[in-house]
Structure 1
Amino acid sequence: MKFMRPIIIALDFEDRQQVFSFLDQFEHQEQLFVKVGMELFYFEGPKILAELRKRGIQVFLDLKLYDIPNTVEQAMYQLGQQEVSMVTVHAAGGAEMIRRAKKGLLRGSQKAGVKPAHLLAITQLTSTSEEQMRSEQLVNASLTESVRHYAQLAQSSGADGVIASALEDPMIHRSTSDDFLCINPGIRLATDSVDDQKRVVTPAQAAKLGSNGLVVGRSITKAADPVAAYQKILTEWEL
């Protein structure tokens, strides 16, 4: 599947009413790509995915699965039937879990007769600092070493890419391959607050670092003019 470098709008809303009230502002925007996360999916379920697809919107379903391999495979079998473009697991779940996730995803998409989603693995959350890794996770490796390890593990286990800070993209591509996807949250315009993110970059910086796609939430959804904010990010990204 050819991969386009998208700006993915994180739909961090409570319900479909808020979602479509927001998206109505983008009715003239072509090739819209959005992220559906835990909050929205757990409330609305698969029907929200069908409604988004009906509008021609591509979906990144970000549920960050992390469980025993069999459970993750069966969950991915269900998600593979939903005709979404990307799904996620935690790389920390291990090689067997990632392999089984890919197996379930392919089985599900084959049953539904749809293109399989890209399987992406979470390395370290962009809200995590190196100090937190050491004191809370008892990980003695550096943040960079941890991300590199998870990226290589994910690739060798069949994942199509990773979710990571754009700051780590050059290292990830060197450690894996140029076609291994790096999708990056923690994106802010230079004038924005960083909120709870620890490792943030601007769209222009992410492009130079080799990002394959950006996940942007509050910089767009909380903007006074979301469409203008989206266009500004798109302009920076495509320069």
Structure 2
Amino acid sequence: MAPLAAPFAAADPAERIIVALDGMDPDQALAFAIGLPKLRWVKVGLELYAAGGPVVVQQLHDQGKQVFLDLKFHDIPATMAGACRSAARLGAQLITVHACAGSEALRAAQESAQESAGVAGLPAPTLLAVTVLTSWDPARFAAELKITEPLANYVPQLAQLAAQAGIGGCVCSPLEVAQLRADHPVPFHLVTPGIRPAGVALGDQQRVLTPAQAISAGSSQMVIGRPITAAPDPAAAFAACCAEVGAALA
């Protein structure tokens, strides 16, 4: 497989798009992925992983897809290290951990993932620290979690914590990617969910941009789910997103 640095310079827009297989059972996910030959990256989240377990990750990997394993590990250092050790053996190339687990847990997770992939003869995965979930809006974030720090300050603090712990990138809202890219140049990997092509309903996302806007702001890769997977013609929807990304890259 190509090294993870490739998406930063890839001329092929498909390298920049990770399609979220949320809401699918394992058979549906495998059929969907193989039905889009130009699809390079897929996201396996909690729902699909709970239904299919490690096998579905390995099956997608065997199809030639590159897997973003989005389980958002958050636990004590030893447990996070063990989880990332197992995830790396599956061949996942992007693995999420919560930045708020703290520097000790982040370092343990990073070291274990790299060691495990090396033993298995696989490319070392890139760990991505989750800063603040894109479903939070600023007012509710402050009111419910009693965190007085504005999101505009809180997200960069978590990203800096992750970078100092050796984590290779972050998951962040597209509205925060420009600031994080200014603070953390390439090869720091910025993956942005909450992407909605123009004219598509926001759903449960609050802080969103279009694919072209996200690329222009400095996103390495973007996660797009229902605008592609729930479209009447998913292949056409994927092609349209690729075209929008390609125009932004030109």
Question: How high is the TM-score relative to the length of structure 2?
Answer: 0.91
User: Which residue identity does 1:89 align to in structure 2?
Assistant: V
Q: Give 2:216's match in structure 1, choosing from 202, 208, 211.
A: 208
CA distance in 2, matches of 1:3, 1:90: 25
CA distance in 2, matches of 1:14, 1:81: 23
Superposed displacement of residue 238, structure 1: 1.5
Aligned to 1:143: 151
CA distance in 1, matches of 2:201, 2:165: 36
Q: Is 2:229 the partner of 1:221? A: yes
Q: Is 2:15 the partner of 1:3? A: no
- Equivalent pairs, count: 237
Q: Is the 8 A contact 2:26 2:51 kept in 1?
A: no
CA distance in 1, matches of 2:159, 2:232: 37
CA distance in 2, matches of 1:197, 1:126: 6
Aligned to 1:23: 33
Superposed displacement of residue 155, structure 1: 0.4
Q: CA RMSD in A?
A: 1.2
Partner of 1:45: helix, strand, or coil?
Answer: helix
Aligned to 1:68: 76
Aligned to 2:51: 43
Q: Is 2:198 the partner of 1:195? A: no
Aligned to 1:34: 42
Aligned to 2:193: 185
Q: Which moved more, 1:74-83 or 1:213-222?
A: 74-83
User: Which residue identity does 2:97 align to in structure 1?
Assistant: V
Identity, % of aligned positions: 37
CA distance in 1, matches of 2:141, 2:117: 36
The CA deviation string for residues 44-80 of structure 1, in whole angstroms up to 9 with x for no partner, is 1111111111111110000000000111011111111
Aligned to 1:158: 166
Gaps of 5+ in 1: none
Superposed displacement of residue 204, structure 1: 0.9
Q: Is the 8 A contact 2:71 2:95 kept in 1?
A: yes
Partner of 1:64: helix, strand, or coil?
Answer: strand
Partner of 1:206: helix, strand, or coil?
Answer: helix
User: Which residue identity does 1:25 align to in structure 2?
Assistant: G
Q: Is 2:52 the partner of 1:52? A: no
CA distance in 1, matches of 2:31, 2:191: 27
User: Which residue identity does 1:113 align to in structure 2?
Assistant: G
CA distance in 2, matches of 1:9, 1:81: 22
Q: Give 2:123's match in structure 1, choosing from 99, 115, 121.
A: 115
Gaps of 5+ in 2: 8-14
User: Which residue identity does 1:183 align to in structure 2?
Assistant: V
